[in-house]
């Protein structure tokens, strides 16, 4: 059986993940992680990883679901989690 090897994150990916996490954390405010995660259809652990920057490249549909629950526009979030081609 092959072992899944994770490609190390680039500094840009890490930075983007941290920015995304900060934005989501601020948007969540006083609401619980569990409540927001449940409404977005993800686990609280996944939300915790995204908010802390440990999951810096979350799936698009995850980000879209969180944006909807938190009342953020996808335009605001897109720049933070979509790789920018130079």
Q: Retrieve residue 59's tokens.
A: 């799936």
Task: Give the CATH H-level superfamily of domain 11-81.
Answer: lambda repressor-like DNA-binding domains (1.10.260.40)
User: What tens digit of pLDDT does each residue of 11-46 get?
Assistant: 888 888 898 899 999 999 999 999 999 999 999 999
pTM for this predicted structure: 0.79
């Amino acid at each position: 059986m092959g072992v899944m090897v994770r490609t190390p994150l680039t500094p840009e990916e890490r930075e983007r993940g941290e920015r995304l996490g900060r934005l989501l954390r601020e948007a969540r405010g006083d609401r619980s992680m569990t409540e927001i995660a449940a409404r977005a259809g993800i686990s609280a652990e996944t939300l915790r990883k995204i908010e802390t920057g440990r999951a810096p490249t979350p799936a698009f549909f995850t980000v879209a679901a969180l944006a909807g629950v938190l009342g953020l526009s996808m335009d605001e979030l897109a720049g933070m989690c979509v790789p920018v081609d130079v």
